[in-house]
Amino acid sequence: MGLKQWTLWGIAALLIFTVGAFYSMNMNQASGVNSESDRTTAISIWLYSEGWETYVNEFKQLHPNIDVDVRNFRSSEQLFTELTASISANAAPQIAELHSYYGLSQLVDTKAVIPVEHALIEGGNQLHPTFTAPFHYEGNDWAVPFGGGLPLIYYRQELLKHPQEKAFTSWDQIVQAAQQPLSEGSELGGNGHWGLAIDNELPWFVDNLSFTSDSAGEKDSSVKSSRVYSALSAWSDWIHLSGIMKPLVHRRAASDFINGKIGVFLSSSEMLPTVERYIGGKFQFDAGRIPTLVQQGIVPEIHGMVLMQAAPAKVQAAQSFIAYLLLEQTQASLWRSKGLIPSRSDVLVKLQEEDVWSQRQKMILDSARMLAVKPPSADDYERWVSMTTLVEQLEQNKDVNLNKKIEEIYGSHNGK
């Protein structure tokens, strides 16, 4: 074969290779290979509340191009602490669950949180002001609330003095019930009476025993301080005077009630599904709103999602997850499975109209109209930590100088 023939064969081969490569490239583009629309976006979500696996899996099915990595924390405080550290290390997640208790102002100050516009989210214009208020700070909304709860008194039905009574109407009744002797065969604990236990979110319960709308914005620290003094004095009496409550056992309060070791239990309405599931038929119990001590209104616990600064694709993917939480079917499911009062007013009204709920569930849904609006403040976290410390000190020592301690937290109350 001559040189000319070899040259022609080489040119032909090169043409075939070029045409093949061009065809392959166009086929790949046509089929979407390496296209923007098929690229997977990975986001990280940090959560402290339980029971999210079903919702994350459902979101993945709705958004197959979004890969979700979930990190769970044992408490909202642990998440908040690690979140602030991750922001400093430039390693924050794209979404973080935030409690209404504290932390918003600190996160806003880092400039790592993105403000949200509720009106741009489906159902966002139906968010109840009570749920959005804890996350509204310096003129912006910084989190999307997806549900909440209120404080409840759980109790053994046998402790109601009269069978026709539906719930406790005063704290004197609760103290009397907690002082009743344990029934025969019960696991003895404490001083041989049924007793009272309070769950772990101590400052939230103090707030609900002392709240008044007049001090919602801390306009009059003396009013707030006076009411906190009254609430903590009663708290001290439950331990040191009537003896119905043991000190420093809050972390096991739920299990003690479920296992029949305690007769009265102060916790959140979010605990109801767990209490019902684990008590089963072991004994008859009920739940009701906490009676008035000195408070005026109910301070809810609200759960929200904050959106962190990230690449545009990740922010968009994170916004999709937050929007999913506000879908009507998701809001209703969060109530049915997790006991969360919906943050959307329209969903709440629809649920209230359904004739399928137990008396306890109906009471919780109907209580939403009584929830107080409490905006955040710059020193929420410091107050939370200080109040936790004060309650723990008070439980160990009845002679703690409440006046001085409360003044350090809230200012003078012009009281005793």
- What is the secondary structure of 77-128 as a DSSP string? HHHHHHHHHHHHTT---SEEEEETTS-HHHHHHHT-EEPB-GGGSTTGGGB-
User: For residue 352, is it within any domain?
Assistant: yes
pLDDT band at 214, cuts 50/70/90? Answer: low
Does 330 share its domain with 311?
yes
Q: Are 94 and 41 in contact (CB under 8 A)?
A: no
pLDDT band at 24, cuts 50/70/90? Answer: very low
Tokens 């100050």 found at: 109
Does 125 share its domain with 159?
no
Give the model's pLDDT for residue 30. Answer: 40
Does 403 share its domain with 261?
yes
Does 104 share its domain with 253?
no
For residue 258, what are its two tokens? 């479920």
pLDDT band at 35, cuts 50/70/90? Answer: very low
Does 94 share its domain with 185?
no
Query: Which residues span the domain enclosing 392?
Result: 151-299+379-410
Over residues 222-239, mean pLDDT:
94
Give the model's pLDDT for residue 1. Answer: 52
User: CA 50 from chain center: how many Å?
Assistant: 10
Give the model's pLDDT for residue 161. Answer: 80
DSSP 135-149: GEETTEE--EEEEEE
Give the model's pLDDT for residue 416. Answer: 41
What CATH code is carried by the domain that includes residue 334? 3.40.190.10
Strands 113-114 and 95-99 turn out to be: unpaired
Over residues 367-375, mean pLDDT:
93
In the predicted structure, residue 346 carries a pLDDT above the cut 50: yes
pTM score of the predicted model: 0.87
Does 59 share its domain with 141?
yes
Query: In sequence order, what are the beta bridge partners of 141?
Result: 116, 136
User: CA 63 from chain center: how many Å?
Assistant: 25
Q: Are 305 and 96 in contact (CB under 8 A)?
A: yes
* 362, containing H or E segment: helix 359-366
CA neighbor of 374 nearest in space, from 208, 140, 199: 208
Give the model's pLDDT for residue 179. Answer: 96
Over residues 280-297, mean pLDDT:
94
Helix pair 221-240, 380-396: axis angle to 10 deg: 30
Cα gap 234→241, rounded to integer Å = 9
pLDDT band at 168, cuts 50/70/90? Answer: very high
User: CA 223 from chain center: how many Å?
Assistant: 28
User: For residue 172, is it within any domain?
Assistant: yes
In the predicted structure, residue 33 carries a pLDDT above the cut 70: no
Phi, psi of 98 (to 5 degrees): -130, 135
User: For residue 311, is it within any domain?
Assistant: yes
394-409, pLDDT tens digit by residue?
999 999 999 999 999 9
Cα gap 303→235, rounded to integer Å = 27
pLDDT band at 313, cuts 50/70/90? Answer: very high
Tokens 């236990």 found at: 197
Does 86 share its domain with 128?
yes
User: For residue 5, is it within any domain?
Assistant: no
Does 293 share its domain with 354?
no
Over residues 342-355, mean pLDDT:
98
User: For residue 289, is it within any domain?
Assistant: yes
User: For residue 98, is it within any domain?
Assistant: yes
In the predicted structure, residue 43 carries a pLDDT above the cut 90: yes
Cα gap 83→98, rounded to integer Å = 10
**Mean model confidence pLDDT for the chain:** 89
Q: Which amino acid type is present at position 412?
A: S
pLDDT band at 167, cuts 50/70/90? Answer: confident
Does 312 share its domain with 275?
no
Q: Based on the structure, what is the number of domains in the chain? A: 2
Segments of 195-297 assigned E as strands: 196-198, 264-268, 285-289
Does 202 share its domain with 160?
yes
Give the model's pLDDT for residue 28. Answer: 43
CA distances from 134 to 93, 102, 128, 378, 410 (A): 22, 9, 11, 12, 19
Does 322 share its domain with 340?
yes
Does 74 share its domain with 122?
yes
- CA end-to-end span of the chain, whole Å? 115
pLDDT band at 59, cuts 50/70/90? Answer: very high
Give the model's pLDDT for residue 19. Answer: 42
User: For residue 14, is it within any domain?
Assistant: no
Count of all residues that appear for the chain in the document: 416
Over residues 226-230, mean pLDDT:
95
User: For residue 365, is it within any domain?
Assistant: no
Q: Are 188 and 375 in contact (CB under 8 A)?
A: no
222 burial level (CB within 10 Å; 0-12, 13-18, 19+): middle
Q: Which amino acid type is present at position 78?
A: Q
